[in-house]
Chains A and B, each alone.
Chain A
C-alpha cells in the first residue's frame, strides 16, 4: 500500500460556475440583460422590482422575474404577475441561496425570446448568495439603511462581488443613526468605485438615475 499526495487546486464551486456560464450563454443568445438581485430579508427587493417594472411600462421593455423563496409561498411571484410580467417562483426547499441549476430550470419556464430584462430575486440573505454565480450580467445588492451602517464590515464577501449597489429607504435617514460616510468607506475598501444608487422606493427618490443606467444596458 502506498500513500500519495495528489495536487488538485480546483475551485470548490467550479461545477456551479460552469453551469452559470451556460446560463450566461442563453441570456446572451436571447439578448437579455440579466440581474442577480440580492439583499437581506426586508430590504425591499420585491418593492424595488415592482418600482422598476412600473417605471418601465411605457418603454416597451419586456421583463421576466425569477423569484427565490425558501418556503413554498407565491406571494412575491403573484405581485409580479399582477404587474403583468412573467414570473417563475423557485422554492429553494429551505436552502439559503439560489444556484445556477435552479436558474437553469427556471429559464425553461420563461419566454426567453420575448424578454429584454431578467431580474432574479435571490433569497434574502447576505452570506450564501455571494458564493454562487448564477450567470447573470450584474450582481446587484440592495442595502436598506435600517439594517445599519456596519454591514459592509460584517459581510465583506457579498460586497466584493457586486457590480451595483442600491442604498434603499433613504427617506428613513432622519430617524436613524446611519453614518453614510462610514458605510460608504467600508464599501470603497471592498469594492472601489462601485456603481451606487441612493434611492427610496417609497418616495421614488433616486429611482430615475437607476432607470437611466438600467436602460443603457438593455437592448430592445
Chain B
C-alpha cells in the first residue's frame, strides 16, 4: 500500500507545474504505468480525492495509461508484449528473453484552465 506516498508525489508534481503555468485549476492528469510496475489505480484514485482537496488539483480527473511490457527473445529475435504472467517466448518457447520496457511510472501531462 505505498499508493499514498505515490499519490502525494503526483499531487506535488502536478501542483508545481500548474503553479508555474499560472493555472487557475487543473482539470485532468495523465499518468503512465508500465505492466511491471506494481501500482494499483483504484487506490491512487481513493487517496487522490482526499488529498487534492483545497489545492489547484481539486476535482481533477486522473487518467491511467497502462502500457504493456515489451520483451525480446534472444534466440528467435521475436518481440512481443506481455499480456498476463511472465512467460517464455510464445514463438519458440525460449526462456532467454530480455525485458525492453514495462517499468514506466511517470506523470505524462496535465490539462489546466487559466
| A interface with B by C-beta (< 8 Å) | 1-16, 95-97, 99, 127-128, 130-132, 152-157, 160, 185-186, 188-190, 192
B1 contacts the other chain (CB 8 A): yes
Contact partner of A8 (CB less than 8 A), chosen from B13, B24, B39, B85, is B13
- Which residues on B sit within 8 Å (CB–CB) of A15? 9, 12
Contact partner of B105 (CB less than 8 A), chosen from A3, A11, A185, A188, is A11
- Which residues on A sit within 8 Å (CB–CB) of B21? 4, 6
Check A9–B97 contact: CB distance below 8 A: no
B36 contacts the other chain (CB 8 A): yes
Closest residue of chain A to B95, judged by CB? A185
B9 to chain A, nearest CB (A): 5
Closest residue of chain A to B98, judged by CB? A192
Check B9–A9 contact: CB distance below 8 A: no
Contacts A/B (CB < 8 Å), 16 sampled = A2-B114, A3-B113, A4-B23, A4-B114, A8-B13, A9-B107, A9-B108, A12-B13, A15-B12, A128-B1, A131-B2, A131-B6, A156-B86, A157-B36, A189-B71, A190-B86
Contact partner of B111 (CB less than 8 A), chosen from A4, A97, A99, A186, is A4
List B residues 80-103 near A (Cβ within 8 Å).
85-86, 88, 95-99, 103
Check B105–A12 contact: CB distance below 8 A: yes
- Which residues on A sit within 8 Å (CB–CB) of B109? 5-9
Check A189–B99 contact: CB distance below 8 A: yes
B52 contacts the other chain (CB 8 A): no
- Which residues on B sit within 8 Å (CB–CB) of A127? 2, 38
B18 to chain A, nearest CB (A): 8
- Which residues on A sit within 8 Å (CB–CB) of B12? 15
Closest residue of chain A to B29, judged by CB? A8
CA distance A181 to B2 in the complex (A): 32
Closest residue of chain A to B12, judged by CB? A15
CA distance A15 to B38 in the complex (A): 19
Q: Which of B2, B14, B21, B107 has the most CB of A within 10 A?
A: B2
Check A156–B2 contact: CB distance below 8 A: no
Check A189–B110 contact: CB distance below 8 A: no
Contact partner of B114 (CB less than 8 A), chosen from A1, A156, A160, A189, is A1
- Which residues on A sit within 8 Å (CB–CB) of B38? 127-128, 130-131, 155, 157
B27 contacts the other chain (CB 8 A): yes
B62 to chain A, nearest CB (A): 12
- Which residues on B sit within 8 Å (CB–CB) of A185? 88, 95
- Which residues on B sit within 8 Å (CB–CB) of A160? 36, 99, 103
